Amino acid sequence: MTRILMMGPPGVGKGTQASRLASHLQVPWISTGDLFREQVRNETPLGLQIRDLMGSGHYVPNEIADELVAHRLAELDTRDGFILDGYPRTAAQVQALDRVLAASSVHLTAIVVLDAGRSDIIERLLQRAGEQGRADDTPEVIDRRLQVYADEAAELFGCYADRGVLLHVDGMGHPDAVAERIWKALELTP
Ligand code: ADP
């Protein structure tokens, strides 16, 4: 059973590491950012509702994020665990996730926090802007997202600090090196 949350600033490589870890552990990787982008791409009613918020670097309302995640975690493939990337992001979402997990009488295994400095992050996001063309990878929006993350991180770490599940890992360097640090922190064999 592996129920892991991945946290860290935008552009730190959360998605890359979450997907690698998920295939290593053979559990699904659930990225709320990807799930929301899919809704926007498909122009679903939800997608149309959140498109402008996302494009300007603002959060989707808690209730929408909570419902999406609760729905996803009810699917059978999460029975043996999951890697959740991008959720929870607010204290209210922490409580919503607690309720979902408590309803199945399960607990989080660990929270992996990827750390990186601000200038490295900005460099990576601007590089990703060139590669992927995401609407929220522009200099002003990146600034907003980094500020939003700083506030979010303080709130989330406060919620989880006394549960003994936070594992801080240096997110800089080659993805292989970061993956190795994560495995070590989780006491997994590569
Ligand atoms: P990043 O971590 O690179 O900023 P994500 O792909 O995790 O990007 O998220 C992109 C956007 O999706 C966020 O800026 C926000 O608008 C929305 N989003 C993702 N997860 C959540 C969440 N848990 N609560 C609210 N909004 C979210």
Paired with 115 in beta bridges are 170
- The residue contributing the CA closest to ligand 1 atom 4 is 10
Query: Cβ(8) to ligand 1 under 6 A?
Result: no
Q: What are the structural domains of the chain?
A: 2-185 (3.40.50.300)
Report d(CA 5, CA 94) in Å as an integer: 11
Token pair, residue 102, equals 């408590």
Spacing, Cα 57 to ligand 1 middle (Å): 8
Query: Cβ(10) to ligand 1 under 6 A?
Result: yes
Paired with 170 in beta bridges are 115
Query: Cβ(32) to ligand 1 under 6 A?
Result: yes
Element at 139 (helix H, strand E): helix 139-160
SS3 for 174?
coil
Query: Cβ(145) to ligand 1 under 6 A?
Result: yes
Residue 13 neighbours by CB under 8 Å, 6+ apart = 114, 124, 171, 175, 178
The pLDDT, as a whole number, for residue 190 is 66
Token pair, residue 111, equals 């929270």
- The residue contributing the CA closest to ligand 1 atom 23 is 87
Whether this prediction's pTM lies above 0.75 is answered by yes
What is the position in ligand 1's atom list of the atom closest to the CA of 32? 20
What is the position in ligand 1's atom list of the atom closest to the CA of 14? 2
Query: Cβ(60) to ligand 1 under 6 A?
Result: yes
Beta strands per DSSP E along the chain: 2-7, 29-31, 81-85, 110-115, 166-170
Q: DSSP letter at 87?
A: -
Question: What are the pLDDT tens digits along the chain (190 aa)?
Answer: 799 999 999 989 999 999 999 999 999 999 999 999 999 999 999 999 999 999 988 899 999 999 999 999 999 999 999 999 999 999 999 999 999 999 999 999 999 999 999 999 999 898 888 888 888 888 888 988 999 899 999 999 999 999 989 999 999 999 999 999 999 999 987 6
The pLDDT, as a whole number, for residue 130 is 84
Spacing, Cα 189 to ligand 1 middle (Å): 31
Query: Cβ(7) to ligand 1 under 6 A?
Result: no
- Output phi, psi for 117, to 5 deg: -80, 155
